[in-house]
């Protein structure tokens, strides 16, 4: 006890939560990126839900409403890009959610598999989104 130098005890590293300023020094591993994207896509969809309902109401109100949606919203390149982004968010969140629930069963948890499945989630979501957008064109 008494032979432990006080200076050495003081030199022990301090672990804290990181702040935004520290972010540049950290490289998030791919499973970490998959996790944060799952959160971001979920929040983005939740925030957009009311706008999506407005569009649903417009499309169901009348035939003219449906055509107005097609020309005003779907015909606008920026709005179309946002909607395609939301489609990716939905598909990504769903695929990542399936991976999450597989991991709930205590499998696929070793680092190598977690990395592979995180990459797979990105790959599968991009392909599925491309397929859906192709069918909507």
**85 lines the binding site for other proteins (CB under 8 A):** no
CB of 9 to other proteins, least distance (A): 31
Contact call for residue 73 and other proteins (CB under 8 A): no
Measured CA to CA in angstroms, residue 33 lies from 80, 89, 111, 119, 128 at distances of 26, 14, 14, 10, 19
Q: Is 94 in the site for other proteins (CB under 8 A)?
A: yes
Least gap, CB of 78 to other proteins (angstroms): 20
Q: How many other β-carbons are positioned within 10 Å of the β-carbon of residue 115? A: 14
Q: What residues contact residue 105 under an 8 Å CB cut-off, 6+ apart? A: none
What residues line the site for other proteins (CB under 8 A)? 39, 42-43, 45-47, 49-50, 53, 56-57, 59-61, 63, 66-67, 90, 94, 97-98, 101, 104, 131-132, 135-137
């Amino acid at each position: 006890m008494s032979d432990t130098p006080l200076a050495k005890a003081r030199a022990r590293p301090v672990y804290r939560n990181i702040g935004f300023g520290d972010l540049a020094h950290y490289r998030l591993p791919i499973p970490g990126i998959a996790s944060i994207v799952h959160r971001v896509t979920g929040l983005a969809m939740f925030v957009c839900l009311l706008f999506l309902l407005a569009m649903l109401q417009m499309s169901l109100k009348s035939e003219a409403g449906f055509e107005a949606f097609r020309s005003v919203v779907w015909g606008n390149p920026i709005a179309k890009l946002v909607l395609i982004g939301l489609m990716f968010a939905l598909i990504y969140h769903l695929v990542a959610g399936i991976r999450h629930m597989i991991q709930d069963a205590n499998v696929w948890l070793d680092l190598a598999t977690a990395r592979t499945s995180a990459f797979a989630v990105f790959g599968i979501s991009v392909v599925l989104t491309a397929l859906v957008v192709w069918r909507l064109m």
